[in-house]
Amino acid sequence: MAYFPSSSAENDYPRSSYSGTHGDTQNYPGSSVLWAHLLRKDVLASPSKSDLPLPPLAPVDKNGTSTRILLLDTQANLQKFGQVVGELTSKVDHAKHEIVTVKNLFQQDREAFMNEFVEKLNRSQSEIHKSLGKPAQNNKLEDLQKNFELRFENMDQRLIAMQMVYVCSFHCFFSLTRP
């Protein structure tokens, strides 16, 4: 058994009948390595007193480990939340900026529309005034207005005179009736 590693497997396990009947395994180094590996697995699987105890698979401080895991999860969630909040605030700031821009553009457009409207209105009034010129009835209307003003002044003077006559007659009547 030149190809078997030195282990207790050589002493504990006999050679298989397969190797003796079907040819010597020493001619095939690959198969003897395979057998050595398989035999060594069997030796490792059997408990021996010289083996050291295996470390525990679960952590000894379960509460501390759970707390650390929760803290790490919380930190990861807070970082994700912070990123989302940062993106949201930047989008809100961008939206505010766009609202202010739209407001300014709307105000400028409204002012331009009103200026254009006033300009067209003034232009149309001046064109109407040019085409009509001074109306023919304008002189007659001015004469009629002067005539009405004179008549109203005359009526005012007559009313004042009538009031004076009434006051005088009242005084006279009052003085006659008094003893």
The DSSP line for 42-109 is: HHHHS--TTSPPPPPSS-S-HHHHHHHHHHHHHHHHHHHHHHHHHHHHHHHHHHHHHHHHHHHHHHHH
Q: How far is CA 108 from CA 20, 96, 100, 113, 124, in A?
A: 105, 18, 12, 9, 24
* Cα-only R_g, the chain: 61
Residue 55's pLDDT is what?
Answer: 65
- The pLDDT tens digits for 23-77 are 444 455 567 776 776 677 655 555 555 566 666 666 677 788 888 899 999 999 9
Is the dihedral angle over the CA atoms 66, 67, 72, 74 positive or is it negative?
Answer: positive
* 32: Cβ contacts below 8 Å, ≥ 6 apart: 1, 3, 4, 25, 26
Better pLDDT: 14 or 75: 75
- pTM of the prediction? 0.35
Better pLDDT: 91 or 3: 91
Better pLDDT: 122 or 23: 122
Mean pLDDT of the chain: 77
Instruction: Return the structure tokens found at 12.
Output: 């504990």
- CA pair distance 158, 176, nearest whole angstrom: 27
87 pLDDT higher than 50: yes
91 pLDDT higher than 70: yes
Q: Average of pLDDT values for 150-155? A: 92
